[in-house]
Amino acid sequence: MDEDTYAAMPEALCVREVRDGERRIVTSLRDPADVPAQEVAWLYDQRWQVELDFRSIKCVMQMDLLRCKSPETVRKEVAATLLAYNLIRATMGEAARPEGLSLRHLSFAAARRAAALFQNTVRRSVNFNKRKQARFLMLQQIAYWRVPERPGRIEPRAVKRRPKPRALLTEPRHQARARITKQNTALRARGA
């Protein structure tokens, strides 16, 4: 926080403490008439869903590593990924509707795979009826892969798999290949 923002902050902040079993939740939602304690506890539990959504965007949509270099192209990459994410979520909503399912009970990773398979089918087929049938099958596939209800789930913020002991590629791949080829040629020449 910069100094100007810090100076603009109030001297004191009024908060409300809500007890939910063993937990104490401190919130700025102070009026119990507007937001009852049960709703505050429910909102607190929903934070896990936000973490799952971020994980889907970063890991499943492969946005954990941005590939573009300039700020303009990074913005485009982020926008395109979020557009794809929202389209998949909308398709999941369409798949959940006939069975009265919640979006939270469907697997995002499975929906992404089903959408990719559908895209390949559409590219190969010009027949409208085949496309319509493929879309129906895609929606069924998305509705099939469900995730269980996991209330109170907690996950450690740690990485289980360690990174591989390889050096980072810090030059264009074609230059690295040329360098390695040159080194191997020199080694063979010395050994011959």
Domain count for the chain: 1
One-character DSSP codes across 158-169:
S-SSPPPS----
Whether residue 101 lies inside any domain: the answer is yes
Residue-wise pLDDT for 36-61, tens only, equals 999 999 998 888 788 888 888 998 89
CA angle 33/36/40 to nearest 5° reads 135
Cα distances (angstroms) measured from residue 174 to each of 49, 182, 183? 42, 12, 14
Q: Give residue-wise pLDDT tens across range 164-180.
A: 778 888 899 999 999 99
- DSSP string covering 40-97: HHHHHHTHHHHHHHHHIIIIITT-SS----SHHHHHHHHHHHHHHHHHHHHHHHHHHG
154 pLDDT exceeds 80?
Answer: no
106: phi then psi, degrees, rounded to nearest 5? -110, 145
**Residue 179 confidence (pLDDT):** 93
Report phi then psi at 24, rounded to 5: -120, 120
Per-residue pLDDT reduced to its tens digit, 78-119: 999 999 999 999 999 999 999 898 888 899 999 999 999 888
Supply the range of the domain harboring residue 102. Answer: 68-149
Residue type present at position 91: T
Considering the domain boundaries, does residue 137 fall inside one? yes
